[in-house]
C-alpha cells in the first residue's frame, strides 16, 4: 500500500486547540540548546526552527528566561530585554512563514543556579533557602555548582509574578502565538509546588492550596496580560528532577489540573511519570490519566513517546496532542517520517548542549537528502 492510500494515523489527524487549527498532533517539545550567546537568540535559530516547522504544526520554543535572575545555564535565551525581543522576531517570522504555531516557554530557574548567573553575583532566589546538593547538571559540556538560594520574602513574590507577566507580553510583542509557563523539572514554580522543597509557612507554603498559590498567580497574571487562550503550562508532578519531589504527586497533579479549569487556558502539558528526569525513561505504574480527566482543556503529554505509543495515546483518548523532544531534535521532518513510517535519524546526545551553531543543531538530514 502506498503512503497515499494508507489510513490516516491518529497523530496526523487535525485538532482545534481554541483558536488554533492544528493540522496534526505532533508537537515539538521545548528543548534548551544553549546556543543563545549571552542570552540573546541567534540567527542560527531561524534555520533550526524553520526546519522543524510544518504547516499547522505546534512548536514550543526552548525555556526562555523571564528576567536577569532567571538563568542557571549558559546561553539560554531570554525575553526580558528589547534586544532579546528583537532577536526573537525573525525566528518567529520563519515559523509563521511555513504555517507553524509557535509558543515560547518562559522560565525562572529559581535555586537551580549560582552567583555566576546572577546580577551582582547575588545568591539565586527561591521559595526556600535549602540548597541543592552541589552537583553537575549532567550536561556533557556544562557543569554547574549550585549555591544556597535566598528565600524570597512574601512581599517580593508579586514582583516575580510580574516578571512572568512582562515576559509574556514581550513574547507576544516578538510575535509568538502564546507562552508556555514552565512549571516543571524543579525550577522556581515547581520549587513552590512541591513539599520536598517548599518549607514555607503562611501564604505560599504548607497546605497544597498554599503551595499552588504562586503557580496560579502566575497563570492568572499571564492570562490577564495576553489572554488565557494564548497560555499553556507544563507540569511534571511525578518527576524529581533537580531534587524536587513531592510526597503525593497525584494529588498535586489533580489539584493543579482542576485549578487550571477556571482560567480557560489553551493547554496543560504534562511530563509522563516514567520520566523521572527529563531524558531517561523508566518503567512506572503511575499515570497522568487522572489529570487528563480533571482538566477540561487541551491535554498534551510528553516523555519517551515513539510513533506507536503516541498514536495509542490519541486513540485511547489519554491525550489530545503528543510532544516529542529528542526525536524532533534529530528529525526535522518528524511528522512526515511518522506518516511514511520512515526510519528515524538517531540523536547525538554529545551535541545536545554545545555552542556550535550547526553540528547537532541544523545538520540533521531530511528524508529526501538521505534517499
Ligand X SMILES: Cc1cc2nc3c(=O)[nH]c(=O)nc-3n(C[C@H](O)[C@H](O)[C@H](O)COP(=O)(O)O)c2cc1C
Q: Which residue is nearest to ligand X (CB)?
A: 325
Q: Which is nearer to ligand X, 29 or 265 (CB)?
A: 29
Decide if 204 is catalytic: no
Helix, strand or coil for residue 220?
Answer: helix
Residue 142 per-residue DSSP state:
B
Binding residues vs ligand X (CB under 6 A): 29-32, 62-63, 105, 182, 184-185, 234, 271, 275, 278-279, 302-305, 324-327, 352
Rounded to a whole number of angstroms, the minimum distance from the CB of residue 4 to ligand X is 28
**Cα–Cα separations (whole angstroms), residue 144 to 71, 72, 123, 141, 303:** 12, 8, 14, 10, 25
Check: CB of residue 103 under 8 Å from CB of residue 179. Answer: yes
Rounded to a whole number of angstroms, the minimum distance from the CB of residue 129 to ligand X is 25
Q: Which is nearer to ligand X, 107 or 123 (CB)?
A: 107
What whole-number distance in Å separates Cα of residue 35 and Cα of residue 271?
24
Rounded to a whole number of angstroms, the minimum distance from the CB of residue 120 to ligand X is 26
What whole-number distance in Å separates Cα of residue 260 and Cα of residue 291?
11
| Burial (CB count <10 Å: 0-12, 13-18, 19+), residue 71 | buried
Of 73, 187, 255, 267, the catalytic one is 187
Query: What is the residue-wise DSSP string for 159-215?
Result: HHHHHHHHHHHHHHHTT-SEEEEEE-TTSHHHHHH-TTT----STTSSSHHHHHHHH
Q: Which is nearer to ligand X, 103 or 305 (CB)?
A: 305
Cell of 136: 553537575
Q: Which is nearer to ligand X, 205 or 232 (CB)?
A: 232
What whole-number distance in Å separates Cα of residue 337 and Cα of residue 323?
15
Helix, strand or coil for residue 5?
Answer: coil
Rounded to a whole number of angstroms, the minimum distance from the CB of residue 288 to ligand X is 13
First to last CA, the chain: 19
Rounded to a whole number of angstroms, the minimum distance from the CB of residue 353 to ligand X is 6
Residue among 322, 323, 344 at smallest CA distance from 333:
344
What whole-number distance in Å separates Cα of residue 228 and Cα of residue 225?
8
Q: Which is nearer to ligand X, 149 or 310 (CB)?
A: 310
Cell of 332: 526535522
Rounded to a whole number of angstroms, the minimum distance from the CB of residue 34 to ligand X is 9
**Cβ-proximal residues to 308 (8 Å cutoff; 6+ apart), any chain:** none
Rounded to a whole number of angstroms, the minimum distance from the CB of residue 305 to ligand X is 6
Q: Which is nearer to ligand X, 204 or 352 (CB)?
A: 352
Strands 20-22, 15-17: pairing is antiparallel
Q: Which is nearer to ligand X, 123 or 167 (CB)?
A: 167
Active site residue ranges: 187
Amino acid at each position: 500500500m502506498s503512503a497515499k492510500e494508507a489510513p490516516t494515523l491518529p497523530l496526523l489527524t487535525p485538532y482545534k486547540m481554541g483558536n488554533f487549527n492544528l493540522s496534526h498532533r505532533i508537537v515539538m517539545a521545548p528543548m534548551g540548546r544553549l546556543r543563545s550567546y549571552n542570552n540573546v537568540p541567534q540567527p542560527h535559530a531561524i534555520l533550526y526552527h524553520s526546519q522543524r516547522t510544518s504547516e499547522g504544526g505546534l512548536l514550543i520554543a526552548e525555556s526562555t528566561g523571564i528576567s536577569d535572575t532567571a538563568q542557571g545555564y549558559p546561553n539560554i535565551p531570554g525575553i526580558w530585554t528589547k534586544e532579546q525581543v528583537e532577536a526573537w522576531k525573525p525566528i518567529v517570522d520563519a515559523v509563521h512563514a511555513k504555517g507553524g504555531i509557535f509558543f515560547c516557554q518562559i522560565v525562572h530557574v529559581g535555586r537551580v543556579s549560582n552567583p555566576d548567573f546572577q546580577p551582582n553575583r547575588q545568591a539565586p532566589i527561591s521559595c526556600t533557602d535549602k540548597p541543592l546538593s552541589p552537583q553537575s547538571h549532567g550536561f556533557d559540556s556544562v557543569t554547574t555548582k549550585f549555591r544556597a538560594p535566598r528565600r524570597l520574602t512574601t512581599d517580593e513574590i508579586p514582583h516575580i509574578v510580574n516578571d512572568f507577566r512582562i515576559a509574556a507580553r514581550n513574547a507576544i510583542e516578538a510575535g509568538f502565538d502564546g507562552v508556555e509557563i514552565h512549571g516543571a523539572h524543579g525550577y522556581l514554580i515547581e520549587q513552590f509546588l512541591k513539599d520536598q522543597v517548599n518549607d514555607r509557612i503562611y501564604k505560599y507554603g504548607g497546605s497544597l492550596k498554599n503551595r499552588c498559590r504562586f503557580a496560579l498567580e502566575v497563570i492568572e497574571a499571564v492570562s490577564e496580560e495576553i489572554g488565557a487562550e494564548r497560555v499553556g503550562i507544563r507540569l511534571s508532578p511525578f518527576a524529581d528532577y533537580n531534587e524536587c519531589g513531592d510526597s503525593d504527586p497525584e494529588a498535586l497533579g489533580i489539584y493543579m489540573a482542576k485549578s487550571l479549569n477556571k482560567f480557560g487556558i489553551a493547554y496543560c502539558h504534562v511530563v509522563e511519570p516514567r520520566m523521572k528526569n527529563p531524558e531517561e525513561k523508566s518503567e512506572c505504574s503511575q499515570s497522568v490519566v487522572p489529570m487528563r480527566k480533571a482538566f477540561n482543556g487541551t491535554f498534551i503529554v510528553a516523555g519517551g513517546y515513539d510513533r506507536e505509543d503516541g498514536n495509542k495515546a490519541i486513540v485511547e483518548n489519554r491525550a489530545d496532542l503528543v510532544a516529542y523532544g529528542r526525536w524532533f531534535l534529530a528529525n526535522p521532518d518528524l511528522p512526515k517520517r511518522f506518516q511514511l513510517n520512515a526510519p528515524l535519524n538517531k540523536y547525538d546526545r554529545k551535541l545536545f548542549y554545545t555552542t556550535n551553531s550547526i553540528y547537532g543543531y541544523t545538520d540533521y538530514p531530511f528524508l529526501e537528502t538521505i534517499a
